[in-house]
Amino acid sequence: MKKVKRKLGKYEVGRTIGEGTFAKVKFARNTETGENVAIKVLAKSTILKHRMVEQIKREISIMKIVRHPCIVRLHEVLASQTKIYIIQEFVTGGELFDKIVHLGRLSEDEARRYFQQLIDAIAHCHSKGVYHRDLKPENLLLDFQENLKISDFGLSALPQQGVELLYTTCGTPNYVAPEVLSNRGYDGAAADVWSCGIILYVLMAGYLPFEETDLPTLYTKIKAAEFSCPFWFSPGATSLIQKIIDPNPQTRIKIDGIKRDPWFRKNYRAVRAKADEVVNLDDVRAVFDDIEDAFVSEKSEDSESGPLVMNAFEMITLSQGLNLSALFDRRQDYVKRQTRFVSRQPAKVIIETIEAAAESLGLKVHTRDYKTRIEGVTANRAGQFAVVLEVFQVAPSLFMVDVRKAAGDTLEYHKFYKTFCTKIDDVIWKPKEGMSNAVLLRTMTR
């Protein structure tokens, strides 16, 4: 059985909780304060190979500069000879996108509260000269108090001195402002405002204002701002959205105008950053300037091969609250970017079932050390789709399977997961109805 204990300076590093094209995100605990954190791990060789040094350095610097209660906090940056570690706030409430999918759409009051927090955070970014450029519900997280947290500043821009317009076409097509698609230069602040308007529409409608299967038709509709608001939008909400989703960036409402709008101001409580907070970028410079940096100690203890071991209490820490029912009841566990289920089948049987199910769907399968990556092409053939499944041993005859999106559209992942679960139903453990948390724990820890 393989058991990994890892130390990264003052942090005890646990299991992987996220995975992307260039990085992994691991759960960790600060041994000095007891605080839970998320650690983004990037291989230096990958960064150099893809010539991403400046982009990663910019993302880290921006996250330190734009400290705000509604932005995921970056604590510090560490490095070893081979890797870079970005220590971030651990946000437990999941994606705002998950909430939209689960409920269909949000009430106007709830949508307004999230929109107010979003505008406050983006106004703070703009005051620092930072433009996000990839605002969408998947990049909006929720903390345990249901407050908004903006994440993923990988496409953010800091304009060069003396240059007012940006020229890079980036972002997610459905949320991108028309001027960004024109290749004639654009104002980053106005482009972010457009994306905020699309987000507000999605929160209240439950669907996108512009949605086409082929990109040329989608771009045509975006550039012409061909959309209509549903009948349940109040006149005030409709009026504000029409001012935001204006294809002309010159006449589009600005953040100051949004903050003065009567619909926006209802029950508005501004969220402000601490005025006296000093930002230090020394650790960022040290990571990128001194590649031989040795102030991080990494220790691993490995034994014979097998799934990683996770005790039941560690699993609960990483679950949403203390309610274990979502691990067992597929009706309660509405799909998230990261989802889990439990099995009493042997680990090898679980992996074989996963591989067979993926192959039956015509997807590519790569398995290594009880971790399977499933890959395919998105439904609109616009990009790559990938899901990672990892098996953990919780007790001698009990395993937890962690499922997480690695690439592609979140809505497509939701559809995939529901189909996939029907094909692996035989390995999913379903305990007796009404079994309490205490009984589940006793069963899991026997």
- As annotated, the binding site for ATP includes 49
Integer Rg of the chain from CA: 23
> Beta-carbon neighbour count of residue 306 at 10 Å?
15
Of these residues, 98, 120, 134, 402, which one is catalytic?
A: 134
Name 443's Cβ contacts closer than 8 Å, sequence gap at least 6.
398, 431, 435
Phi first, then psi: what are they for 314, rounded to 5°?
A: -65, -40
Residue with tokens 């291989």: 43
Percentage helix, strand, coil, to 5, in the chain?
35, 20, 40
Name the strands in the sheet holding 23-30, side by side, starting at the edge strand that comes first in the sequence.
74-79, 83-89, 36-43, 23-30, 11-19, 6-8, 298-299
Active site residue 134: yes
Residue with tokens 């107010």: 116
Beta strands 74-79 and 371-377 are unpaired
418, 335 contact by CB (below 8 A):
yes
Q: Which residues are annotated as a binding site?
A: 49
332, 44 contact by CB (below 8 A):
no
86, 72 contact by CB (below 8 A):
no
Using CA atoms, how far residue 96 sits from 27, 71, 172, 281, 319, in Å, is 20, 14, 16, 30, 17
Phi first, then psi: what are they for 45, rounded to 5°?
A: -65, -40
Give the single-character DSSP code of 307.
Answer: P
List, by residue number, the catalytic residues.
134
